[in-house]
Chains A and B, each alone.
Chain A
């Protein structure tokens, strides 16, 4: 799939068979949260269960044109914890962070005693972006989950991204491990780590991905630049599906930069846990949040 239009078509196809998914909407606060939820109902994606201040949410439902009959509202003093325990017990099949910041949500999800991700794995964020300057969808990871990822975390993050790529019809995605430079320098530890991960990929130790790195951003998106900078025979340069960043600040910055200044049609989810979490950043429009819901539906449908 190269566009969100296709992603939505695939999500609709899924719910045609499975029916809509029960979705926990946490502490919704912005009109965009309600607008996206309303459209999620109309598309047949979700049956929402709102968690938070019941009176406030009920009032907002009406003003945003939602039919209270379509929505369940549960009074919750702690929507984040309650939402996660509903996910753990199967009462919801996906979550949307709503008024809880994505970063806070991710931090809670990552706490080991919660066992939200399976043993030894992590749940991580994958942003999906459609922009006019690039010939395919651009997946960027990880914007919120693992602050200073170790090599094993980065591999886990890549596996999650590969799974999301499969969901959107890319069976063997091309993954670029991004750095400030494309050369491998002992003085720049990130480049050494990325070279090692790329080698693991080359040997088939990381499944379903074609991996290269370190690559600078311009080499990852432009094969000609890669050639000029002396990178020959890269299976990824110029045709990257997944952009893997060394820190959360980096992926976070790319997502915000492209939504705000490149008018990206975007969405994202936290993948790898008990249920997928459709993410709504403050920069995200209702359209973007609906995109996130469609991605979470594909993930929930498996």
Chain B
């Protein structure tokens, strides 16, 4: 069950209707009922199977949607016509106890034509300047997404402009520090390598030219980047110019949040909420998120 915060958004309604037609989800829409029904009718969107809770005020609607999830009646929260910061503030409020020990982070799962598998990139939407601790948590959150996508092993590449450790590169030093820190706690189903440039992480051919070996080169599932800018901008370059389909979710809370931007296409919005459902399913069957990590 998806609880939609301020559902009065035509493309959100379209994405939900399409995902429901594919039997991916059911949803409860919190928002301006009159407006939602008008939007659906005018645009021929089939929302009749969804419950609508009339909360015309965006703040109240958001609060009610998050409450539904906190009470265990919804498995996914989806962002509608509400700002990201207002939604996440509500999700994190003490009242709902949806926090885990991990920081919240954003994972974008990309389906890039030309790459042989999905590539999840993180964090391009949440943590501005992650320190070492936060990077580890961002990594743990991304690994959960990898597991929800039924990957085994989950192959992680840490980004860089060099391949392997070199003294002159600061990102390589940061990567080394990260690797040393997690070395003893890497779960059995996770393989991690870095630093790797995007080309070495996703192309065996390039890796070969560079003389690189290792389990992750050319076959990364997750690309962990250093800054929010790097991740956000590189992902958008792929979405805009390489026709990548993308699904963005916020992970790290007990409930996954389907985070879509107003300017995302219906296709990407549907992908986002569907991914969030898959993650919720994984949480349910593995009871993992309550332990707050992947260790």
Contact = CB atoms under 8 A, between A and B. Distances in A.
Interface in B207-233: 209-210, 225-233
Interface residues of A, number: 47
Contacts of A179: 229, 233
Nearest to A185: B128
A261 B242 CA distance: 5
Contacts of B229: 178-180, 190, 245-247, 250
A253 B240 contact: no
Contact of B237 (A190, A257, A281): A257
B271 interface: no
B198 A218 contact: no
Given A180-B125, A246-B227, A249-B159, A254 B112 contact: no
A38 to B, nearest CB: 19
Interface string B118-135: 000000110011000000
B206 A283 contact: yes
Interface residues of B, number: 45
B162 A103 contact: yes
A188 B232 CA distance: 14
B236 interface: yes
Given A180-B125, A180-B232, A261-B115, A256 B238 contact: no
A152 B88 CA distance: 36
B170 interface: yes
B233 A103 contact: no
30 contacts: A103-B169, A104-B168, A107-B169, A178-B233, A179-B229, A179-B233, A180-B124, A180-B128, A218-B263, A221-B240, A228-B262, A229-B263, A247-B230, A248-B161, A249-B171, A249-B230, A250-B229, A252-B198, A253-B230, A257-B198, A257-B234, A257-B241, A260-B114, A260-B198, A260-B202, A261-B114, A261-B241, A261-B244, A262-B237, A262-B238
Given A147-B169, A253-B234, 8 more contacts: A131-B241, A222-B240, A229-B263, A253-B159, A257-B234, A261-B238, A261-B244, A283-B199
